[in-house]
Amino acid sequence: MQRLPTPVCKCFVLCRGLFVDPTRQDYTIVSPVHQVFSPRYPLTEDFSVFARWTNAHGSYAIEVQLKSLEGEVLSSCKMEAPFEVHDPLQIWMIPLHHLPMQIPAPGKYEVVMLANGSEVASDTLLAHRIPV
């Protein structure tokens, strides 16, 4: 079996929402997120992810995980169908909408994007407790 190239992720943004202009195919990223605030945990947050890939060719199972800093997977969301890429020289936009992430407690976490099980991007997410 031929091994697919690991995509190179040029942009990875966790946000509250994404919109696309159907004519121009322009994306609008709404409220980029690097921290959340809640009086109660565990907390389930509805996030979206926008990524931009190059060097991809083939079929990719895409997954976004919330991990502890020790590497434990705490929450995971998988794209329903594989992402099909037919031109490795093209820039590919990956919009993922409404990903429910379960945040167990206040702290620092890592949000990771995987393509066929290989990490292609990651970022930090901070969770804060606020007084009621």
Domains and CATH numbers, the chain: 8-129 (2.60.40.2550)
**Shortest CA distance to 49 belongs to which of 38, 62, 60, 61?**
62
pLDDT, mean of residues 54-63: 93
Query: In this predicted structure, what is the pLDDT of residue 5?
Result: 86
Residue 19 confidence (pLDDT) above 80: yes
pTM: 0.92
Query: In this predicted structure, what is the pLDDT of residue 132?
Result: 84
Task: Classify 35 as helix, strand or coil.
Answer: strand
Residue 55 confidence (pLDDT) above 80: yes
Q: Kindly tell me the sign of the dihedral angle through the C-alpha atoms of 127, 108, 83, 29.
A: positive
Report the distance separating Cα 79 and Cα 63, nearest Å: 6
For tokens 């943004």, name the residue.
13
Can you say whether residue 98 is alpha, beta or left, with left for phi > 0 and alpha for psi between -120 and 50 degrees? left
In the DSSP assignment, the letter for residue 2 is P
Cis peptide before 131 (omega within 30 of 0): no
Above pLDDT 90, what percent of the chain? 83
Query: In this predicted structure, what is the pLDDT of residue 25?
Result: 86
Q: Identify any residues that bridge with 18 across adjacent strands, giving them in sequence order.
A: 29
Mean pLDDT of the chain: 94
Residue 86 confidence (pLDDT) above 90: no
